Amino acid sequence: MITCEVNYASKNKKGEWVCGDSIKIKRNEEKCVVSVSDGLGSGVKANILSTLTSIMATTMVFNNVPIEEVFKSIISTLPTCKVRKISYSTLATCLIDYKSKKCTIFEYEFPLIFYFKGDKLIKLPRIEKIVSNKKLYICEINLNVGDSIFLMTDGISQAGMGSDKYPFGFGIENIIFELKNLVKNKISHKNIVNHMIKLAEKLDKYSKGDDALIAALNIREKRILTIMVGPPEDKNKDKLVVKKLINSPGKKIICGGTTGQIVERITGKKIDIDVRSISKISPPIGYMEGIDLVTEGIITLTQVFRYYENQTDELGIGAKKLIEFFESADVINFLVGRSINPAHQNPLFTHDISLKFRLIHDISKILEKKGKIINLEYF
């Protein structure tokens, strides 16, 4: 199944504390909604209006509110500039449906949207619709792995305005030329958005410039990770949990010594310990046929949690590899055993909650904030 990876970068107008352009992302295993809004002007006022717009659009579209109702709500909520007769915030919302492999794009006075099929720039089939006497553009496209959609505010196209080289700004044609080269040379989408923002900053070096935000939506195969942590409370469920792990799609990890022994017993396969991975701060890792990584439990999970909380950057190889797997995955399934090891009890918690449960809970919340889909199953 496909998924949508979203990377974005922004810059503030010189002298402003916040960016006047905003992005909101909401996703589950079936769909992803991304909204980018360009607030009129810059600074705090523009940020408030664009944030309100992007949050309203994303939340309502994600919850299947008819698009006419979405934009009626947004248009009636947002003020209009009495002098320039334009909205205080523009908007582009992309709804990506993973099952149908379709993307619906809604535009309201939004500056720049570019759609690449592979490395070919494709013109969007836009249909005009009138909602509350305002023009709204809608288009629907079929998606394939390797497709890209770039949303960017006019701080990119107007970068360098007033300079000798770009008196009218960087311009759409130059943006297209830049994007075509970057996509053709298979530059990562994360690097593309960072490059475009740095380019805008460079062009605006001798001028005030404007807020700018660019988002890149990359359609690729979904990456699934399943990790078995701890033995089940009921030993009769050992086989069930191991079967879930072995039959799960994507990458597979065993976390914990006792957990590894259970998998060895059920599958008849042996864990090969990598003695070279032993260090002063963590036990060694191991490998098993059909399993991508075997790590120790509590020490490794503690290091992962402390790393994400910026408490340490000193990690054993098990924690480093576990973090790499977490960062790469889109969906992370935790198969958590309820059997409690008395040695890991924390006296600050009630008797039925182990340190292991607390670590998994906290790490899951951190990963969710990073945009990962987390599924927790307890046995």
| Beta strand 148-152 pairing with 212-221 | antiparallel
pLDDT digits (tens, 9 = 90+) for 339-369: 865 544 555 544 344 788 899 999 999 999 9
Q: Do 187 and 312 fall into the same domain? A: no
Q: Write the CATH number for 193.
A: 3.60.40.10
Q: Which of 197, 221, 245 is the last residue in one of the domains?
A: 221
Q: Do 174 and 186 fall into the same domain? A: yes
CA distances from 55 to 59, 141, 153 (A): 6, 23, 17
pLDDT digits (tens, 9 = 90+) for 115-160: 999 999 999 999 998 887 888 999 999 999 999 999 999 999 998 8
Helix 317-328 to helix 298-308 angle (10° resolution) is 60
Q: Write the CATH number for 308.
A: 3.40.50
pLDDT digits (tens, 9 = 90+) for 285-297: 999 999 999 999 9
pLDDT at 147: 97
Number of folded domains in the chain? Answer: 2
Residue recorded with tokens 């379709």:
102
Q: Do 204 and 245 fall into the same domain? A: no
Walk across the sheet containing 127-131 and list its strands.
Answer: 21-27, 31-39, 89-97, 102-108, 134-142, 127-131
pLDDT at 141: 96
Q: Do 160 and 22 fall into the same domain? A: yes
Residue 59: name the closest of 46, 44, 77, 43 by CA.
Answer: 77
Instruction: Name, in order, each residue with C-beta under 8 angstroms of 233's C-beta and a sequence gap of 6 or more.
Output: 337, 338, 339, 379
Q: Do 217 and 308 fall into the same domain? A: no
**What is the Cα–Cα distance from 213 to 65, expressed in whole angstroms?**
26
**Does residue 193 carry a pLDDT above 90?**
yes
Burial class, 83, CB count within 10 angstroms (exposed 0-12 / middle 13-18 / buried 19+): exposed
Q: Do 130 and 249 fall into the same domain? A: no
Q: Do 50 and 186 fall into the same domain? A: yes
Structural domain boundaries, residue 276: 224-378
| Beta strand 89-97 pairing with 31-39 | antiparallel
Instruction: Name, in order, each residue with C-beta under 8 angstroms of 69's C-beta and a sequence gap of 6 or more.
Output: 60
Q: Do 316 and 258 fall into the same domain? A: yes
**Does residue 82 carry a pLDDT above 70?**
no
Q: Which of 201, 221, 241 is the last residue in one of the domains?
A: 221
> Please, what is the average pLDDT of the chain?
90
Q: Do 257 and 175 fall into the same domain? A: no
Q: Do 165 and 113 fall into the same domain? A: yes
Q: Which of 160, 194, 221 is the last residue in one of the domains?
A: 221
Q: Do 60 and 180 fall into the same domain? A: yes
**Rounded (5°) CA angle 51-54-57:** 145
pLDDT at 349: 45
Q: Please report, for the chain, how many H helices and E strands are present, in that order.
A: 10, 18
In the chain, where does DSSP find H-type helix? 43-62, 67-77, 154-157, 172-184, 189-203, 238-247, 257-267, 298-308, 317-328, 355-369
Q: Do 195 and 239 fall into the same domain? A: no
* pTM check: above 0.75: yes
In the structure, what pLDDT confidence band is assigned to residue 27 with cuts at 50, 70 and 90? very high
